[in-house]
Homo-oligomer: A and B are copies of this chain.
Amino acid sequence: MTSSQQSPPELRSIRTAELLAVGSELTAGETRDTNGGELARALSLQGVSVRRIIALPDDLALVTASFAEALSTVDIVVSTGGLGPTPDDLTREAVSVAIGEVPEVDADQQAWLRDLFARRGMPLSELNLKQAWLIPSATAIPNPNGTAPGWWVDRPDGRVAILLPGPPREMRPMWREWVVPRLRERGLGDGRLVQTLRTYGIGESHVAELLGEPMLRAANPVVATYARADWLDVRISAVDERDAGGRIVRSAREVLETAEVAVRDTLGGHVLAEGETSWADLVAAAAAGAGVRFAVVEAGTRGALGALLCDVPALERAIAHGPGVARDVSAWPVESEAIEIARAAGVEVGLSLVAHSDGTQTVLRMAVAAPANGWSRDLDLRLFQHGDHGRFRAGVAAAAFLVEVLGEEH
């Protein structure tokens, strides 16, 4: 019996969620859960408030209780993990007990599973049969990258339990392509709009000072800063502004755009990107815009710059000197190295970076040169980070310099 044969669930818009990551490998700290954070971000961007993210062991009582609590507290509960064929995989069992239904092998799911295994030339064992279970309230969520279908479980009060596999490459397409469209049909979130402005070259407290308390404490839009390894992000999140009677006086779009303009005006040239743009994206765009290919050579950075830019199509070659280059940065011939690497790699532009990191800071020197065009630019910097973090920041500084120089030179 499928959910379509029961009375339709109450319509309930989806404003709150709880996320469960099931697997003893998580509570043993052997594996780190990435699904919870990813789903939390996806839901938050849609205006759904995530109450908790909980990693649970393969313990039937505990997982059952977690489903029961969530299904009496939030609008949707999404679980990842525990859908495999072994006795330790008990997420289906847990939600079944939590809502008082009994799983049975579903003929369609069984046929699909049998066919999948046949195509792979593998025997379908008894163990795998539980992956063909359904309960009356569940609809199977197809899994394009694995053997375990997920479950979409409708509750009479309009709440939903969504069970997804643990492996991210299986979970992600199922979430994105099957679950989200159906959540949207139900009315997902609060119509929130979110924009992230990525800044570089300015400290978090200075940004806070410039933006000011009123903006940072406002309820709508909510403006918050996040200091990442490679960016200082300013995240603006807006909903419709309503009067006392509930009428919309400013749309979420208006609220967001007004705030974005204010932040951009305030932070000026420090805003270099939006959303999830990476330094590799910016460098790729700058190189494409200048119509050049480039090569890099770095010392004292353990290859941080090459790693940062490894996906850039315009990067012809990256040379990294090994660790233990404890040399005098100020005397490093960055300009001639930049010229040399450009020539050796047969490209228009070369970048040379040298860094020395001690226990408290990192000193860097870099040059960008275009030998055929006869120009070069160099830069000396001192960073307050050191060690691995300092080396990473040195790579970012070089990427930022390259973007700046390519944007200027002709």
Binding site for B on A (CB under 8 A): 25-34, 36-44, 49-57, 62, 224, 226, 235, 302-303, 306-307, 310-324
Contact = CB atoms under 8 A, between A and B. Distances in A.
Across the A-B interface, the 10 shortest Cβ-Cβ residue pairs: A29-B41, A29-B40, A53-B55, A315-B322, A302-B310, A32-B37, A27-B50, A28-B44, A303-B310, A318-B320
B313 A303 contact: no
A87 B216 CA distance: 13
B319 A311 contact: no
A40 B53 contact: no
A50 B59 CA distance: 12
A33 to B, nearest CB: 7
Contacts of A307: 303, 306-307, 310
Contacts of A38: 29
30 contacts: A25-B224, A25-B226, A26-B37, A27-B49, A28-B40, A28-B44, A29-B37, A29-B40, A29-B42, A31-B37, A36-B55, A52-B54, A52-B57, A52-B62, A302-B311, A303-B307, A303-B318, A306-B306, A307-B310, A310-B323, A311-B323, A312-B323, A313-B322, A315-B322, A315-B323, A316-B321, A317-B319, A317-B322, A319-B319, A319-B320
A76 to B, nearest CB: 14
Nearest to A235: B30
A29 B53 CA distance: 10
A295 B38 CA distance: 38
Given A317-B321, A318-B319, A29 B55 contact: no
A28 B235 CA distance: 11
B62 A56 contact: no
Contacts of A317: 319-322
Nearest to A389: B169
Contacts of A52: 27, 54-57, 62
A392 to B, nearest CB: 11
Given A311-B302, A318-B319, A27 B51 contact: yes
Nearest to A298: B318
Instruction: Tell me which of A38, A226, A312, A315 has the highest count of chain B C-beta atoms within 10 A of its own C-beta.
Output: A315
Contacts of A310: 302-303, 307, 320, 323
A33 B32 CA distance: 9
A38 B29 CA distance: 6
A194 to B, nearest CB: 10
Nearest to A226: B30
B44 A37 contact: no
Nearest to A388: B311
Contacts of A26: 37, 40, 53
Contacts of A321: 316-317
Nearest to A306: B303
